[in-house]
Structure 1
Amino acid sequence: MQFSEIAITNFRCFSDTEVRFEDGVVAIHGSNGAGKSSLLEAVFFALYGSNALPTGVTLGDVITTGEDEAEVVLDFHHNDSRYKLTREIRRRSSGASNTKSVLRADGPVVADGSREVNGYISDLLHMDADAFVNCAYIRQGGVTKLINATPSERQAMIDELLQLGTLEEYRERASKARIGTGRVRDSQDGAVDSLDDQIESKEDQNLKARRDVVTTELGRITDGIDDVAERRESTVKARDEAQEVVDAHEERLNRINDIKNEAESHVGEMQAAADSRGDHLDTVREQGAQAGTLRDRLRRATQADESTLPTDGLASFDLLGDDADAEEAAGVHFDRDAVQERIESAEASEDEAADAVSAANDRQRAAGEAATAHEGNAINAAENAASKRERIDEYRDRIDDHGATIGTLDDEIAAKENTISELEAQLREYGYEPDDADAVRETATNRTLTLNDRMQTVQTDIGAAQGQIRQAESLQEEDRCPECGQPVDESPHVTTLDDERLAVERLQAKNQRLEDERDETKEVAETARELASERDALADLKDDRETARDDRDAAREKIDDLEDEIESLHERSISEYRISQEKQEEAAEADADAEAREKERQQTRTRASNLRTLDTTLSTLASNISGIEDATRRRADLTDEIADHREEIHALARERAELESEAGDEAVEQARTAVERHQGRINRFDRWDDDLTEMRDKRQQTLGEINGSIAELKDLRERQDEAVERADRLDDFYAEMEALEAMYEEVRSDLRQQNIDHLQRILNDIFDELYRNDAYAGIELDRNYEFTVHEKNGETLDPSQLSGGEKVLFNLALRCAIYKLLARGVRGEGSMPPLILDEPTAHLDTGHVSRLSRVVDIMRDLGVSQTIIVSHDDEIVDGADGEIHLTQDATTNRSSVSTPDAGPDLGAPPAP
């Protein structure tokens, strides 16, 4: 597997960057913070999505600050196919999420969605994100992860890489299945025992014999119930016949009593009718007297001027005689019609007068409101003018303040210009043109970063050289080599000691020159920064002075505008006062007109009231005449009603006589005696029936219970057969799971031991390549993944006792051994991912760096066609097949890729 290219957008410190990966060894280098580890993190994220992020890091954390979305596109080759993997992240209100995950193989989409893509990559590489970190990707600071892990952690890591974890997973599944089956089997055995007990209990109850006895008893009881029912039915028939005789006699007696009551009712109603007829005669007399009184009142009313009307209908008549008819009432109604016309005319006049009063009031109110409004306008205009005079005073104070401010700003501007001239002179002394201070500062800052990197490299070389000098001096003091016992005078470490010391002096001198140049460059950057700041401050002061001048001129213009407005407000106030006086005069005239109209309305109201009173009198007279007529007709009706009641009383008397002659006391008494005797027998039959029914119900319930128990016994026997069969199957399955669990454990143990043997042999071969001439003889790996380092003198060491550089190489050797084992047996040819090393040389001196290169060669021989190394070491960079140089923009903190030697290089500053 080889990475071809990655395109990064808004991921960590990369805005829009494309990086190509060469085959073989690819070296990534650059200054601190340039984004080397972020580039590897982008590759890891492209492969495994959010599973690749370290603990505590969210998807939102990897999106570039200030951006809402990020994208990583990785191209890679694997097993003669070209793959394109795209991951996209978007920031939402609820948090960032992986909105797009697509994997293409030779063009078509083969996986879509985060989960599907992750599964496809894991199957393709035969490792998930954790296995990839433990095997292929050595993160910064994690190079000794396998050595520092506990034996159990190391066993889990290596078992997972060698796919032994799958066997353990299968064994655990078989174990869980066995344990679960055991619990179910035990439960099933208990169920079988319980069914045996229940069946034995049911069989002891002798259910069929009991069912036969109860069935026989139930038949006898049913026959008894039928016999009682027949005898009761015959008795009920005889009782009903006797009861009919008694009921007929009772009906005759009831009818005689009803006739008596009806006759008494008719007598009472006849007497009430006679009394009512006398009352109606009194009513006719009273109404006649009231009609005479009303007639006199009408005659007096018709003499008034405003209510004169015809009196033809007011002629006298005999209210109690036969001549009182509808013609007299018609005259009264004719008089009411004439009065009604006069009322309507008077009310119309009243409405016209009321409208005139309302119109006059409206004119008075409108004129008053207008006068008040204009007066208010005049007052507002005067107050507004006074307010504007106060604002003129405020603007004059502002003009004075702005004048003082402008003077102060002139002094500050002169001082700033002097300071800027001094700073520009300083930059010219350093050899820089001060026209663009920001460009000078950026150039000086970049130069400082470059010098820091060069100093760091020199200091690293000084440390390595001094370490070799100390080692040579130690050998020289011992006089003989502690390993072989030979004299050290001719040893390369001793013969080159003077050269190493001279090299250290040269490196220290170079470091001092770089430090002096860096300090001077820092001073240039600080001076440029201060110059840019002072220029910005000068521009701000000039802007403030111009603003103060503009404010002062604006205040003067505002005073002129306010004086014009005050003059206009004076004129408006006078005009409003004049209009207010005119409206007050209009209001007074309208008020006088309203009083005159109100007097006219009161006169028409009085006239209409008099006419309505006259109409009411005519209405009452007409009502009295109608009442007399109704009372007369009612007296005639009551006379006829009294005659009808007399005839009904005579008919009821005849019917009562006939019913009394039909009643016979002896036959009725015999019938009553028969009814009582038959009812006693019926009651006894009912008690017998209740007792027999209760006995039948109990026997039926008992029979049902017995039948239910028989059915339950049958069901229990069937369930017993099924439970026994299920228990047998569970026994067989438990034995199978137990054997399967043992098989997985045995296979895993055998494979682990085989892998341990292979891994130990491969690890010793690689270790021999790296430490052939050193004091170490070999490495032992036991079945618990404990490491032991054997020295040539027979002593043993724990890997934790190795030096920092030796730990790094030991870990890399272990990684190589795992890779080789994977390539030989587990993964298959062509499936090995690139080896990724992030800063593996941090703890290595010059000698160990050379051995690291040997580790890379070993990995290439194992079939790892691509190794990506992040390093500052020149030996690693120079020996790489491809080089990726990362730089960082000091202003934006964004990283980018540049070709070697094409990055920013200030060189020496220009001559003054």
Structure 2
Amino acid sequence: MLKYLKVENIRSYQDLDIHFKNGVTVISGVNGSGKSSLLEACFTGLFGSRTLTKDFTITDIVRKGATKASILLEFEQNGNVYSMEQVFRNDPESGRASNTRSVLKVNGQIFTDQAKRTYDSILSLLRMDEEAFRNCVYIRQGEIDVLINAKPADRQKMIDDLLQIGKLEDYRERAGSARIGVGRHQRDTERQIKEVKNETAEIESKDPVGSLNRLLTEASQIKEHHADVIKKRDKARSGIDELRSKLGEYEQLTLQKKSISAQILACNSKKTEAFESISNSTSSIQSLRSRINELEQSVFSIKAQMEWDGEVEQMLVHAEKQELVERKKLNDAEQKKALHAQNIENAHRTLQQLSSQIKDMDLSLKSNLKKKEDVAAQIEKLKVSLEDAQAEKLHMAGEIESLGFTPKKLSGLEDIIELVQTQQKSLHGDKMKLFARKEEINKRIKKSKQLMDQGKCPTCGQDLHGSAMHETIRSDEEQLASLENELAAITKKEEEFGLKMEQLKQVKAVSKKMEDCDNRIRSSNEIIDMSEKMLQDHASRIDDDSKRSNEAVSHKQEIEATVAQLKEQEQLLLESVSVSFKKHAEALEKLDLAKKAQQKFIESGSKLKDIEKLEERIHSEQEKIGLLEQQIKDGKQRLSEIDKRMGGIDAGSLRSLLQQYEEALGNIEDDIRKLEERKTEVMKQTGMAEKEIERLSRLQQELRSLQHRSDFLAAVYRDAEELESMYMRIRAELRSRNVGALDALINEIFGFMYSNNAYSHVQLDPDYNLTIFGKDGTPLEPKLLSGGERAIFNLVLRCAIYRLLSMAMNGPAQGSTLPPLIMDEPTVFLDRGHVQQLIRLIDRMRDFGVVQIIIVSHDEALIDSADHLFYVEKDPITNTSSITAR
């Protein structure tokens, strides 16, 4: 039983508290006021975001512009009070929202605070999920005939899930899937057993154990033979090493002999070269002494020319000092001349720059004066434009006030337009519903009159003896007249809202023009401020240009006077440079003579050093000749000793014997290589035999394991078959029981609702297909019933399922009850007669023990029959719904 609902920022509700009581509660109000949103809040409060779809998301249930929303729902069951709290976060800019908190409390204590656990707890408590809740407890607007219109397979699943036997089909499918999986594993295991047996037979046919024994015997024999051959090889190698040692000694002595002979020959050659070197050095010394005499005569002549009696080096130093003094004087004179010329050039360049600056400043002054005049004219034009815009704005404000608005109210203009459009759509929807009801009543009156003309009852088709059909037709005609009045009233409201919308559009257009005027005024003020600043800037520039021009003219006159003075000093500097140049040239000539004397003096010293080196070389060559003669004597003595040692060795016999030993060693090594190759082959074959024996052992073990596995899978397959059959049998038995019970309940309620009608009973087959039978036994599908009768029949079916589910839940769990029966706009397609039938059905459900029934409707008959009434209203300005108890 629902006890309390609190919502914040859900749909059109900003803040709402509502307490529910036992009995029939009707929630009424105009279309679009937010009635159905209350039921959706209860539904979402129970099951959280699982009730939403891709077309109706969290952002759709959160109030426009809000960042946080919440639902708190309290209900009572089994003597306990449960409360479900759902909290949502919303980001209006990104359009993303989420269910951030989901808490279930039991008697005020937190039971769980995780979304998945709270959802599972509600499913366990109510014994149904959100889909079953919609199909049994909560009849949403437009979904009243879901069960009848559903496909047979979908209807079976819906009712089986509601009656808690749909899980048996899930268990059967799981058992069937397990059986198929086990069968697949059985086939794979049999295939593996066959492959293992084939491979085992193939290995056994090769007799790997016998092959291994033969190979081990052969390996032992090869090992013994290999040891004998190795001993022979080592003996041959020792003999070869000894012979090679003797031959090596003989060849070493031969090489030494050749080397000593070559050394003696080289010493004789070097001795001859030393004698030639001594002769050449003596001739060179004579030539050098002659050159030294010539150089000394040339130096004496230069000293006489320069009138110098001292050393050559001191003469060169004196000449360099004189040249340096004269060169410094010349550089000073030329620098003064260059500096003076640069000063003159700089003065001319400065004069040109000043002339250019004076010209540019005159042009800039004229330009700034022109710009100042233009800016002043532009400011005057802008002020005139500003006054026009201000006058236009005042005119627009007057137009808005004449339309009933003030500038302060313009901020909510879009919301008012949206609200009026919503009300227009709501009126259009009401008008279409009234047209549909009018068409239905016209058809019913036409059909009744035709049957009246034939003398038959329009309900059962029997003769009209004692029938009150004239009263029924009159009642329909009165209802038709009432609909005409309602249509006229709605049409009048549509015209009023149309006129209001046109007025709002005019206000919106004028408001747009006012915004344009404000933009023009703001833009003009900004341009005027900027232009006045430009005017001040141009005036400042004119003053600066005038001052700079006067200063430049004064500076130009000063520079012209300076240029005249510099030209007078230029001639004196030219004469000073000419004198310094002549004196420097004379100093350079003397310096060149001193340098030549210095070079000849240095060359003479170098020749003396060359003579000393040649005399040293002659002495060295004489000593070298003595050493070479001693080396020749020693070499001849060593040759005599080597000839004595080589006399006792027969090199030919040693080479012949060495060749025999090497041939024998080659044959022995070939035998060893063949033995090792055979040994490797035997080892390889031995390893292969051992691997085959090891593989055979593993295959035998694997075969035993696979056979055990095959036996186990066969047993599991049989168990899965039995389990699948058991679930199918139990499901069929339970469905048979439920079909019988549901058939009885449907006919009980159907008989109560249609006791005086043309229908006798309803038949429900094992697949939940429904058939209605007339009193004459004619079968009729529920889909062929009229709109109102089909709606009543759907309510009968839902109430029967509700009762059956309640009876099933009250059996094993004493005291438990289902949630209240909730209906959203069940009278949409019902006429007055059918509405009365609905009221009788509601009373019947109360007699059956349904504690709480909640209905959303604006039908007056339902409102009058309610125990509790709530009225929902929406503020057209704030778009906020509110609810009051009546």
TM-score by length of 2: 0.81
Match of 1:849 in 2: 835
Match of 2:165 in 1: 164
Distance 1:439 1:268 in 2: 127
Distance 1:60 1:653 in 2: 121
Question: Helix, strand or coil: the match of 2:85?
Answer: strand
Match of 1:733 in 2: 716
8 A Cα contact 2:14 2:880, kept in partner: no
Deviation of residue 801 (structure 1)?
Answer: 0.4
- 1:794-813 to 2 correspondence within 5 Å? 794-813=777-796
Match of 1:870 in 2: 856
Question: Helix, strand or coil: the match of 2:650?
Answer: helix
Match of 1:908 in 2: none
Question: Helix, strand or coil: the match of 1:899?
Answer: strand
CA gap of 1:810–1:247, structure 2 versus 1, over 3 A, is: same
CA gap of 1:842–1:473, structure 2 versus 1, over 3 A, is: same
Match of 2:686 in 1: 703
8 A Cα contact 2:46 2:84, kept in partner: no
Deviation of residue 665 (structure 1)?
Answer: 6.5
Deviation of residue 396 (structure 1)?
Answer: 5.8
Matched, 1:896 2:881: yes
Gaps of 5+ in 2: none
What amino acid is the match of 2:371?
A: R
- 1:821-836 to 2 correspondence within 5 Å? 821-825=804-808, 830=816, 832-836=818-822
8 A Cα contact 1:85 1:102, kept in partner: yes
Match of 1:202 in 2: 203
Larger mean CA deviation between 49-58 and 843-852 belongs to 49-58
What amino acid is the match of 2:96?
A: A
Match of 1:54 in 2: 53
Question: Helix, strand or coil: the match of 1:75?
Answer: strand
Deviation of residue 657 (structure 1)?
Answer: 1.7
CA gap of 1:564–1:780, structure 2 versus 1, over 3 A, is: same
CA gap of 1:254–1:100, structure 2 versus 1, over 3 A, is: same
CA gap of 1:480–1:239, structure 2 versus 1, over 3 A, is: closer
Distance 1:817 1:354 in 2: 130
What amino acid is the match of 1:72?
A: S
What amino acid is the match of 1:838?
A: D
Deviation of residue 847 (structure 1)?
Answer: 2.4
CA gap of 1:124–1:632, structure 2 versus 1, over 3 A, is: farther
Deviation of residue 19 (structure 1)?
Answer: 4.5
Matched, 1:20 2:18: yes
Deviation of residue 179 (structure 1)?
Answer: 1.3
Deviation of residue 498 (structure 1)?
Answer: 5.2
Match of 1:321 in 2: none
Matched, 1:775 2:758: yes
Deviation of residue 753 (structure 1)?
Answer: 2.0
What amino acid is the match of 1:569?
A: D
- 1:471-870 to 2 correspondence within 5 Å? 473=449, 476-477=452-453, 479=455, 481=457, 494-495=470-471, 501=477, 505=481, 508-509=484-485, 512=488, 515-516=491-492, 519=495, 523=499, 526-527=502-503, 530=506, 534=510, 537=513, 562=538, 565-579=541-555, 633=616, 635-664=618-647, 667-825=650-808, 830=816, 832-857=818-843, 865-870=851-856
CA gap of 1:342–1:769, structure 2 versus 1, over 3 A, is: farther
- 1:30-179 to 2 correspondence within 5 Å? 30-59=29-58, 69-79=67-77, 80-91=80-91, 96-98=96-98, 100-106=100-106, 110-112=111-113, 114-179=115-180
What amino acid is the match of 1:575?
A: E
Deviation of residue 164 (structure 1)?
Answer: 2.7
Matched, 1:385 2:365: yes
Larger mean CA deviation between 54-63 and 778-787 belongs to 54-63
Larger mean CA deviation between 610-619 and 865-874 belongs to 610-619
Larger mean CA deviation between 121-130 and 180-189 belongs to 121-130
Distance 2:564 2:733 in 1: 125
Deviation of residue 151 (structure 1)?
Answer: 0.2
Distance 1:346 1:5 in 2: 119
8 A Cα contact 2:330 2:584, kept in partner: yes
Distance 1:665 1:386 in 2: 129
Question: Helix, strand or coil: the match of 1:832?
Answer: coil
What amino acid is the match of 1:245?
A: K
Larger mean CA deviation between 860-869 and 230-239 belongs to 860-869
What amino acid is the match of 1:807?
A: R
Match of 1:191 in 2: 192
What amino acid is the match of 1:213?
A: R
Distance 2:497 2:691 in 1: 106
Distance 1:575 1:832 in 2: 106
Larger mean CA deviation between 543-552 and 217-226 belongs to 543-552
CA gap of 1:157–1:417, structure 2 versus 1, over 3 A, is: closer
Gaps of 5+ in 1: 315-331, 902-912
CA gap of 1:806–1:447, structure 2 versus 1, over 3 A, is: closer
Match of 1:904 in 2: none
What amino acid is the match of 1:156?
A: K
Distance 1:650 1:256 in 2: 15
Larger mean CA deviation between 115-124 and 592-601 belongs to 592-601
Q: What's the RMSD between the two structures over aligned residues?
A: 5.2
Deviation of residue 742 (structure 1)?
Answer: 1.4
Show CA shifts across 1:503-522 (max 9, x none): 75566457646755764575
Show CA shifts across 1:212-238 (max 9, x none): 333333322222211212222222222
- 1:220-239 to 2 correspondence within 5 Å? 220-239=221-240
Match of 1:326 in 2: none
Distance 1:771 1:365 in 2: 128
Distance 2:529 2:201 in 1: 119
Show CA shifts across 1:43-69 (max 9, x none): 4444444432234455555555666x4
Show CA shifts across 1:313-339 (max 9, x none): x5xxxxxxxxxxxxxxxxx6x999999
Show CA shifts across 1:22-50 (max 9, x none): 23444444444444445544544444444
What amino acid is the match of 2:834?
A: H
CA gap of 1:223–1:156, structure 2 versus 1, over 3 A, is: same
Show CA shifts across 1:180-202 (max 9, x none): 21121112112222222333333
Show CA shifts across 1:754-789 (max 9, x none): 222222222222323333332222222222221111
CA gap of 1:504–1:188, structure 2 versus 1, over 3 A, is: closer
Deviation of residue 842 (structure 1)?
Answer: 1.7
Distance 1:609 1:104 in 2: 121
What amino acid is the match of 1:151?
A: P
Deviation of residue 797 (structure 1)?
Answer: 1.0
Larger mean CA deviation between 433-442 and 255-264 belongs to 433-442
8 A Cα contact 2:809 2:817, kept in partner: no
Distance 1:464 1:346 in 2: 137
Deviation of residue 667 (structure 1)?
Answer: 3.0
Larger mean CA deviation between 54-63 and 640-649 belongs to 54-63
CA gap of 1:97–1:667, structure 2 versus 1, over 3 A, is: farther
CA gap of 1:49–1:163, structure 2 versus 1, over 3 A, is: same
